[in-house]
A and B are shown apart, each in its own frame.
Chain A
Amino acid sequence: MDQALPPTRWTIFLDTFFKASVIDQYLPSILKGIVVTLEVAALVVICGILLGLTLALVRAYRIRAVNILIVILVDMLRALPPLVIILVVYFGLPNVGIALSNFAVLWLILTLVLAAFAEEIFWAGITATPKGQWEAARSTGLGFTQTLLFVVMPQALRITIPPLTNRTIAITKNTALGTVIGVPEILNQATTATSFAGNATPLMMGAVAYMVIFIPVVTFGRWLETRFAWRRA
């Protein structure tokens, strides 16, 4: 009897994106993809922010040659699309004898790109801290490094949190670029499954997976912003 009914647009839609049998079949591989995405994302966020913070702190010492290097590196990483760097490194470097795994390339490039943006954000926070804060601290005998760590950075970090959260989310979503070099993350699992199944349901599962991962991150970012917003003197 069912077969006799002509398919409506609605049932076609459901069949295309939410087919139960396909969901059943490919849920395990999407879950594997989630694990890989989370692994890469966590490593990128931790390493990228720490490296960016380190670069900004080094830049605060205003050693001319070092700062020129930092600015060049950071500007290049911010100017180039991450996909281009990933392809060049993954397919180009083996020709000169440097072969990195696809996982390593994805982690390395996204870390460097996040570090570049994070460095600029931290640096903006450092320069936004009023000169009087430096002067007050130095006038009590605190050294440059002590002033940077105990007086300037705590203030700089607070104003840094909103832009840093946004940028971190944006870069972390780029873990999906791993699909072009075969990193078995969410999108890679979903496209593979889609071509096997001949059905778009796995792609929809991938989209849902990204939502499951990133909506808590976005919410956490908003919480951080309110948590660290404090009235200025």
Chain B
Amino acid sequence: MLLIHADARRGLPAARPLLLAQVDTALTPDTPILDVRGLTKRFGSTEVLKGIDLKVRPQELVFVIGPSGSGKSTFLRCCNRLEEPTDGSIRVAGVELLAHKVDINAMRRRIGMVFQSFNLYPHMTARGNVMLALRKVLKMPKEQARAEADAALDRVGLADRAGHHPSALSGGQQQRVAIARALALKPELMLFDEPTSALDPELVGSVLGGMRDLKADGMTMLVVSHEMRFAQEAADRVVFMDGGVIVEEGPPSAIFGAPKHERTRAFLSRVLN
């Protein structure tokens, strides 16, 4: 599995033509899929991210928690440059995302993203939603794209809904189509931005189930969410953010069982009681 990963990445161009960068981007199985250093983001005079450092290793599931306004969603959205960082470094599989010459579209197809509000294309069927990037980004022939889309929908348990428009699907089904849409591009990293926050409580389970399956298949995931129980059960690491910085991070047992910082304790007591 890891060998296949390394092979697949060998042919990719280095982010920068500098010798130093090339040495730096030499890939080993231990190279973090996501390596964020000194990330800052300002909106006008408001500093939302004040220097974030985080590594996510292959097959890791890292959970980001924190109060609203802590910058966790902004941080996640910087990781595929939907939000343009002010300063710092973001490497995905060794490629510097903030380099001038980086082909951001080529990088984004290696980084799947799932949104709070699903953002399915309402004028297309579930299958059409998944096929679009396969056809237009990967330039796949129609029949192959269709087969790949159906396979991706099957992975999230929606093979029988392929021909439905989003309006004919439940929220949980829509979100799983959105996961399939990202998954079909075979990303090396998946970003989840509060994937269950817009769902009715009884639909949350199906989406978390899909994420659990991804984890079992070895997907690398960075998740911003308020599903604390899911974090305790499925996360390899939990990161607590507040005020634009990472306050503390560690395995879920440590963060939930014995948080070191007062801010973490205060936040957890608010959300867990």
Contact = CB atoms under 8 A, between A and B. Distances in A.
Interface of A: 130, 132-133, 135-143, 146, 150-151, 154-155, 158, 230-233
A134 B112 CA distance: 15
B119 A150 contact: no
Interface stretch (B11-19, B132-140, B207-215, B262-270): B132-140
B166 A140 contact: no
A150 B123 CA distance: 10
A136 B119 contact: yes
A135 B80 CA distance: 10
Given A138-B108, A231-B167, A233-B174, A132 B132 contact: no
A198 to B, nearest CB: 58
B70 interface: no
A158 B167 CA distance: 16
A136 B136 contact: no
Given A135-B113, A136-B119, A137-B133, 19 more contacts: A136-B113, A136-B115, A136-B181, A138-B82, A138-B105, A139-B80, A139-B112, A140-B137, A141-B185, A142-B105, A142-B132, A143-B105, A146-B137, A150-B136, A151-B121, A151-B132, A155-B121, A155-B123, A231-B165
Nearest to A146: B136
Nearest to B134: A140
A154 B165 CA distance: 14
B182 interface: yes
A150 B137 CA distance: 12
A133 B106 CA distance: 19
B82 A140 contact: no
Contacts of A141: 105-109, 133, 137, 185
Nearest to A233: B166
Contacts of A233: 118, 120, 122, 165-167, 174
16 contacts: A132-B115, A132-B119, A133-B119, A133-B121, A136-B120, A137-B121, A139-B113, A140-B109, A141-B107, A141-B108, A141-B133, A142-B133, A142-B136, A146-B136, A150-B136, A233-B165
A150 B115 CA distance: 20
Interface residues of B, number: 30
B22 interface: no
Contacts of A150: 132, 136
B117 interface: yes
A139 B123 contact: no
B111 interface: yes
A150 B113 CA distance: 19
B182 A140 contact: yes
Contacts of B112: 139-140
Nearest to B107: A141
A122 B265 CA distance: 51
Contacts of A230: 122-123, 165, 167
B130 to A, nearest CB: 10
Nearest to A133: B119
Interface in B164-180: 165-167, 174, 178
Contacts of B119: 130, 132-133, 135-136
Contact of B137 (A142, A154, A231): A142
A140 B185 contact: yes
Interface in B130-157: 132-133, 136-137
Contact of B181 (A133, A138, A140): A140
